Structure 1
Amino acid sequence: MRSEPLTPQEMERAGTIVHAIESSYSATVVGQVTLRRALLVALVAGGHVLLESVPGLAKTTAATTLARAIHAQFTRIQCTPDLLPSDITGTQVYDARTSTFETQLGPVHSNFVLLDEVNRSSAKTQSAMLEAMQERQTTIGGTVYPLPEPFLVMATQNPIEQEGTYQLPEAQMDRFLLKEIIDYPTIEEELEVLRRLDAGVFDASSQHEGTVSLDDVRFLQQAASRVYVDDAIRNYIVSIVYVTRNPLNYIGEELAGYVEYGASPRGTIAFMQAARALALLSGRAHVVPDDVKAIRHAVLRHRVILNFDADAEGVRPEAVIDAIFASVQTP
């Protein structure tokens, strides 16, 4: 059953909400356009985002700023090697006064959850997030507790400091709608950071709550699900993901030899969801090929798994992804 197309009034409301979020974000965070896009796409698409960069590039600031722009529950979890699964999901506590167990929900029961340095938590703790991220629920003492809607996990990791860290398994990486790599700011942007620092922009007392409500976010998510995707775009997405699994006949023997595994069907779904969200953020009620191309790295860099030879020779996933896109005809 095909959903009703978005009306001009709905598009106008969506544009107003997006502008309010972007204005609140830009008032605090300098530059970082790709970071802003990744967070907004994940929010509108109802997915999760993994942010990777060296320390000090505003990953945590951006996540907290986005949460502040919306009247929602926000929790930050600092991941450490001794963090237990129950520290995230919750546990049962015995009450001696009533001789009963009382359930205490963990910090994951929030609209926005920031997992800071997620690769510092153990594999057992990381696996505790799988049910929450995929099923939107946790199980404590045999009882299922649904998570609030909307629910967005923003996880950060530092790629240069590996001591005391645990590599995220592919199964959990695939749960993230997007993986964005944050680069250093330009000279002009860094000067603007100093100017805002002197002006007190980053002081807690100067931070203002946003005007966007949870109902507004739910509206954006419902609107994104109704963004029109032509059959030609669907075939384009499916063809791209197919080439990631069968690269030899499309991108040449040399580059194909670096690919260990291609993207799963979850990658196909992620492309459609993220492209719809990006179209809505751009003020369009339909997806164009450029939407798919714009998010190609964020959708595929953690789903196209390269082998040890690629790592040894410094071949990046982005180079393979670009070759894959070049081999597929744009509709």
Structure 2
Amino acid sequence: MELTTVWFLLIAVLWIGYFVLEGFDFGVGILLPVLSRDETDRKTVLATIGPVWDGNEVWLLVAGGATFAAFPEWYATLFSGFYLPLFLILVALILRGVAIEYRNKSDSTRGWDRTMFFGSLLPAFLWGVAFANIVRGVPLDARHEYTGTLFTLLNPYALLGGLATLVLFTLHGALFLALRTDGELRARAASLAVKLAVAALVVGGAFLALTQLTTGKPATWASAGLAAAGIAGALFATLRGRDGWAFTANALAIIAVTVTLFGNLWPNVMPALDPANSLTVANASSTPYTLTVMTWVAVIFTPIVLIYQGWTYWVFRRRLTRPVPEATPSQPTPPSTAPATGAV
């Protein structure tokens, strides 16, 4: 297998890791004002992702760095043509991180909670818009430069893709909260997950069906079907109260969706509306020497990162219990200072 193919697959794996792990972070942030009834609920919801959210974002950094090193032409065209959407995603991620870290240091948390909500909702939607456009194809000239505008990216197919990822990640967050909490909060998350699963089947199914009918390949029909089966499995498991299986099934659906998109993309990395101007793994890649060095670095350090992150999730695997307010101890009746009846 050629190294260009290897690195295309590795970048797909990095995006799979990012969407599976950061996906429930987005969902938790979106559901923060929906499922929380009071400040204790809000603290419990945020505590579910507190130890892991920043580690999950590392997958995005590595995916971007790998794209820059392995396919510099792809990186240059992507970040110049999609500059505004990617800039909005970056700002949203920064503000979300600030909100998580600083809400407990402020007298008023309402503003930070709104920042958390929009900082999660915007990337969850825009990543779908971006990847839908990448798979569909964008206007590129002979120098592989993007010639469209922002409104070119906001076409109906891309907006449907954004809505599909938004619903899917929100469902992922609801299932994660059902898995990591208990009591009324867990019940509310599971109840909402049932409704979101139905929405994900409708919206996500429409997006994948349209993708397969327009740019799909025969092999990716299997992964598209697996995605639908994963969401249906999450719905069935939630109704049965099997939170772990429900979360696993939806994670499998996210993996299958990402495989479908990258499978339809191959061997292109940035299709053009004019196929002659498309970027492929061949004309967008770095030199063989660079890819060889990168491969050895990945072989050495990737297992270390995976072991460390797996250990982190193992340590913080237990459900979070909403703290029960302590009863206020009864105060003894103070002695009376009035004079005794009948005193001389």
Q: TM-score, normalised by structure 1?
A: 0.30
Q: TM-score, normalised by structure 2?
A: 0.29
Between Structure 1 and Structure 2, whose CA radius of gyration is higher? Answer: 2
* Higher helix proportion: 2
* Higher strand proportion: 1
